[in-house]
Amino acid sequence: MTEIILKPIGIVRSEVKEHKRGGWGEVTSEIVIDEEWTEHLDGIDEFSHIMVVFWMHLVPRENRPPTRIHPRGRADLPLVGLFATRAPYRPNPIGVSVVKLVRRHDNVLTVQGLDAIDGTPVLDIKSYMAPVDKPEDIRMPDWVSKIRTKPRP
């Protein structure tokens, strides 16, 4: 297989210094884009939301990722294949988040809801276009609705 080489275009700045399981919706972060890419941001502030692609640089890489897991580590949820989850332990620790774009100032984007910690390398940014990015016929398993609830004792 061909080797893939990625070069970050920026970095996340946030008060969050280590991984956490939830509460990301309230987190405000800055994405500091390398100055050479500043003009590439022109027009981005006309969008309410953007997609951020990032490298989860602190996820341990020593071991092969698990084949099957309980989502969020919760035994009350079914054991499913890794690719059916959003667990950070992946063959390639790439994160993708749709976040609210609060503002742009030169090469700095202030966003809300980015589930990336301080120092996370940003690989790409794309505008979020609901007619293109939000399919009309979304289907998910029942356990997804239980993620926001506490497990039963």
pLDDT at 86: 82
Q: Are 96 and 53 in contact (CB under 8 A)?
A: yes
Torsion angle, CA of 56/40/47/49, rounded to 10 degrees?
Answer: 0
Q: Are 65 and 140 in contact (CB under 8 A)?
A: no
Under 8 Å CB-to-CB from 22, ≥6 apart: which residues? none
Domain span at 25: 7-57+93-129
Q: How far is 72 from 85, CA to CA, in rounded Å?
A: 9
What CATH number did the domain enclosing 29 receive?
2.40.30.70
Tell me how many helices (H) and strands (E) the chain has: 1, 8
Q: Are 120 and 13 in contact (CB under 8 A)?
A: no
pLDDT at 24: 65
pLDDT at 118: 93
Q: How far is 150 from 21, CA to CA, in rounded Å?
A: 13
Structural domain count of the chain: 2
Same domain? For 48 and 105 the reply is yes
Same domain? For 13 and 48 the reply is yes
pLDDT at 148: 67
Same domain? For 68 and 119 the reply is no
Q: Are 124 and 53 in contact (CB under 8 A)?
A: yes
Consecutive sets of 10 residues in the chain, 153 residues long: mean pLDDT of each?
92 83 77 97 96 89 80 89 86 91 97 93 94 77 76 46
Q: Are 122 and 74 in contact (CB under 8 A)?
A: no
Q: How far is 102 from 30, CA to CA, in rounded Å?
A: 10
Same domain? For 111 and 44 the reply is yes
pLDDT at 22: 63
Same domain? For 50 and 22 the reply is yes
pLDDT at 152: 44
pTM score of the predicted model = 0.84
Same domain? For 101 and 53 the reply is yes
Please give the structure tokens belonging to residue 93: 């620790």
